[in-house]
Amino acid sequence: MNSVRIIGGQYRRRVLKFPESEGLRPTPDRVRETLFNWLGQDLDGWKCLDLFAGSGALGFEAASRGAARVVMIEQSSHVLAALFANAEMLQNPREVEIIRADAIQYLASSSTKFDLIFLDPPYKKGWIPRLEPLLPGVLNEDAAIYVEAEHQIESLGDWRTERHGKAGEVHFHLLRRQSA
């Protein structure tokens, strides 16, 4: 098993364990620290969607920092089992909901509106263009989108890159809707 630690909030220093899985790349500590500096350290009351949950680092980090609801979507059964084990290790936070689902089917069928989406799909599989038209249906008007990709992203629909960084080969972005 691999591991990553939660870097802030009530679960700070807790270690999440996750299995080897193709395309699973946990967001490094330094990148998560930058992201939560961009967002503000406190996500009190936010509804967050971790669409390709993987290690759960982003979703559990959001819960640790006060998010009211964190929905974690994962399709792989062995990765899903690790997510449930990590939730149990954190004493099953009531704000965390772990769902086995396909990302596109979840977005197409969800009626929940989120304040923040973590979007870190497997690379070189064309996920982002397929997800882009479905994102407005699950985002609040002032929602943010966090994206990790193998290339720089300027926009996703009405959301434009507000902040961008690069760590190794990974480009990470914070997008917000531009006001009319």
pLDDT tens digits for range 99-117: 999 999 999 999 999 999 9
CA–CA separation, 74 and 102 (whole Å): 7
CA–CA separation, 8 and 155 (whole Å): 29
Domains parsed from the chain with CATH numbers:
2-177 (3.40.50.150)
Of residues 178 and 66, the one with the higher pLDDT is 66
pLDDT, one tens digit per residue, over 125-141 is 999 999 999 999 999 99
Rounded to two decimals, the pTM is 0.93
Query: Which tokens go with 4?
Result: 């990553």
Residue 26's pLDDT is: 73
Residue 3's pLDDT is: 87
Residue 180's pLDDT is: 46
CA–CA separation, 19 and 54 (whole Å): 9
Residue 41's pLDDT is: 74
Question: How long is the chain?
Answer: 180
Using DSSP's 3-state secondary structure scheme, residue 24 falls into coil
- Candidates 17, 175, 4; CA nearest to 87 is 17
Could you give the percent of the chain with pLDDT greater than 90? 81
C-alpha pair distances (Å), 106 with each of 24, 62, 69, 99? 19, 20, 16, 9
**Whether the predicted pLDDT of 179 surpasses 60:** yes
pLDDT, one tens digit per residue, over 34-81 is 999 999 878 999 999 999 999 999 999 999 999 999 999 999 999 999
Cβ-based neighbours of 4, under 8 Å, separated by 6 or more: 15, 16, 18, 26, 29, 55, 57
